[in-house]
Structures are given as C-alpha cells and as structure tokens.
C-alpha cells in the first residue's frame, strides 16, 4: 500500500497563532531593536538622575544651589532629559507590545522598568531573549504575488 506523496500546495500543520506576515515579523524585529536601544538610554539616564538626586538632597549642603553653574541648572537638565527619553521609551514599548501582541499587563511592566533604577537593563535582556524565541518559532507567510 503506497501512500500518495503530499502535494506541494498543501498546507503544513501549525498553530494559527504562530503565523506572522513578513511585514509584522520585520516590524517586530525592528521594534525589539528600538526597544533595546531606548531601554539602555533610559536606564542610563535614570541612573544619572538617581545619583544627581542623592547628591543634591543627601550630600550637598544647600539643595537649592546644588548643581547650579552660573545660570545653568544641571539637575533640571538631567531630569528633563530623562523625561523625554522616557517618553520615547514608552513609544518603543508600545510598538513592541503591539507587534508581539502581548497583554496590557506586559506593557505596564515594560513601562515601569523605565522608572525603577537598573530594572530596564535586567528586563531588556529578558525581553530580547523572549522576542528572539518567539520570532524563531514564528511561521512567516509571504503574500501571494
């Protein structure tokens, strides 16, 4: 009893949740790269902000004049820079979360990593490993031409 060979046009067995379009796959990979860069920048700025606040409020004699150089307030500049980096980081988290189709809870955890010192570095590595694993398991389907 010989079985007929499988047709080249037949569909292989896989879960529909693992099917990705080429556009979504590429966008998810780019979102992960953007997220990683912004997580490192935001984490670094948060560490600088933390050191600045410790100096200003615990070490300096007068917190109102600490880190003021002429008319330039370094403490305010660091805080503003971290704030804008955090906004761009949130955009990157949202982009990654949408492409990976994760839950709102995952987005909130990603967002909190930008305000807890050192957490962005730890979470960035975990998220990158998870994204790479999900993308490696994905079935990428190109549109018919």
Strand partners of residue 19: 139
Q: pLDDT at position 61, please?
A: 79
CA distance 102 to 46: 26
Q: pLDDT at position 145, please?
A: 64
**Structural domain span for residue 36:** 20-140
CA distance 54 to 96: 33
CA distance 95 to 128: 14
Residue 44 is assigned to a structural domain of this protein: yes
Residue 30 is assigned to a structural domain of this protein: yes
CA 2 from centre of chain: 53
Residue 57 is assigned to a structural domain of this protein: yes
Q: pLDDT at position 60, please?
A: 81
Whether the full predicted model's pTM is greater than 0.95, yes or no, is: no
Work out how many domains the chain is built from and give that number. 1
How do strand 139-141 and strand 19-21 relate by DSSP bridges? parallel
- pLDDT by residue for the chain (145 residues), tens digit each? 556 665 556 655 666 566 888 899 999 999 999 999 999 999 999 999 999 989 888 888 787 788 888 889 888 999 999 999 999 999 999 999 999 999 999 999 999 999 999 999 999 999 999 999 999 988 888 777 6
Residue 122 is assigned to a structural domain of this protein: yes
User: Contact, 120 vs 48, CB < 8 A?
Assistant: no
Residue 61 is assigned to a structural domain of this protein: yes
Residue 92 is assigned to a structural domain of this protein: yes
Say whether 117 sits in a helix, a strand or coil: coil
Residue 118 is assigned to a structural domain of this protein: yes
Q: pLDDT at position 6, please?
A: 59
């Amino acid at each position: 009893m010989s079985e007929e060979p499988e047709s080249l046009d037949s569909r292989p067995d896989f879960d529909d949740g693992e099917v990705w379009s080429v556009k979504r796959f590429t966008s998810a990979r780019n979102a992960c790269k953007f997220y990683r860069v912004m997580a490192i920048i935001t984490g670094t700025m948060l560490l600088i902000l933390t050191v600045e606040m410790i100096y200003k409020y615990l070490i300096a004699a007068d917190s109102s004049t600490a880190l003021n150089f002429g008319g330039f307030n370094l403490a305010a500049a660091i805080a503003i820079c971290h704030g804008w980096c955090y906004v761009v980081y949130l955009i990157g988290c949202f982009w990654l979360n949408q492409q990976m189709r994760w839950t709102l809870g995952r987005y909130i955890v990603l967002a909190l990593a930008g305000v807890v010192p050192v957490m962005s570095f730890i979470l960035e590595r975990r998220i990158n490993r998870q994204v790479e694993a999900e993308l490696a398991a994905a079935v990428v389907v190109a549109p018919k031409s």
